[in-house]
Amino acid sequence: MKGVRTREGTREGGLIGAVDEAAVIARVRAGEAEAYAELVRAHTGMAIRAAVAFGAGSDAEDVVQSAFFKAYQSLGSFREGAAFRPWLLRIVVNETRNTVRSAVRLRSATGREAALLEAEPLIPDAADPAVAALDAERRVLLRAALGQLSEEQRLVVTYRYLLDMDEAETAEALGWPRGTVKSRLNRGLKKLGRLMPSPDAREGGEEHE
């Protein structure tokens, strides 16, 4: 089931907004460790998608469990008033990269690409009709096209659309100015549009009025 879009973002696994998160974090810091489960429930779906998208594959759940544990250990240094989701995502991505590096002899590049395919990324038609993920064949093409983007373009497209983060969260997670996010995202989507065949071309180029 997809998250519910609200003014506070996409909520997954639990109804928890920015104000509630601050209250939960305060409770955890005050010694109510069990309250941390509310954050885990709210963000597990996003964390698993991130781990899979960045190559964790079958290790995604272990990576996410480790990331949540490290986030809990570091909660004392979490900046009051900051958004929890981008902060957590940085930990998930770092943990994923560490896992992929440690398993590089055991996992081929093909296996890592297959892990991204399993994430079934969906880029909305509103972003660019040429890069909409329509079906399994389309996802294969999308995966191949993503691999031809620059590292910065691939990162921003993944964060913004595959992980359904808004512009502000993407900027915070990547540590980039919002203007940089906009420009790299725009270039990345345009390149994907050139790399991905249009639906008309795939279906034989039928003419439409």
pLDDT in tens, the chain (209 residues): 343 333 334 444 444 554 489 999 999 999 999 999 999 999 999 999 999 888 888 899 999 999 999 999 999 899 988 899 999 999 999 999 888 877 654 444 445 445 555 554 444 444 544 444 445 667 777 778 888 888 899 889 889 888 888 999 999 999 999 999 999 999 999 998 888 766 555 544 444 44
The identity of residue 87, as a single letter, is: W
β-pair partners for 163: none
The identity of residue 61, as a single letter, is: E
pLDDT of residue 130: 45
The CATH 1.10.10.10 domain(s) of the chain lie at 120-202
CA–CA gap between residue 44 and residue 195 (Å, rounded): 32
Topology, domain 120-202: Arc Repressor Mutant, subunit A (1.10.10)
Burial of 41 (0-12, 13-18, 19+ CB in 10 A): middle
> Helix axis angle, 136-146 relative to 109-118, nearest 10°?
130
Instruction: Decide if 128 contacts 193 (C-beta within 8 A).
Output: yes
Q: Virtual CA dihedral for 147, 181, 68, 34, nearest 10 degrees?
A: -150
Compute the Cα dihedral for 148, 113, 84, 88 and give only its sign: negative
10 Å Cβ neighbour count for 24?
Answer: 19
| pTM to 2 decimal places | 0.68
The CATH 1.10.1740.10 domain(s) of the chain lie at 1-112
pLDDT of residue 29: 93
The candidate with the shortest Cα–Cα distance to 107, out of 60, 175, 75, 154, is 60
Strands (E), 69-137: none
CA–CA gap between residue 154 and residue 204 (Å, rounded): 29
Does residue 5 sit in helix, strand or coil? strand
In CATH, which of 3.40.120.10, 1.10.1740.10, 3.30.470.20, 3.40.50.300 is domain 1-112? 1.10.1740.10
Instruction: Decide if 188 contacts 147 (C-beta within 8 A).
Output: no
Burial of 11 (0-12, 13-18, 19+ CB in 10 A): middle
pLDDT of residue 198: 62
Burial of 27 (0-12, 13-18, 19+ CB in 10 A): middle
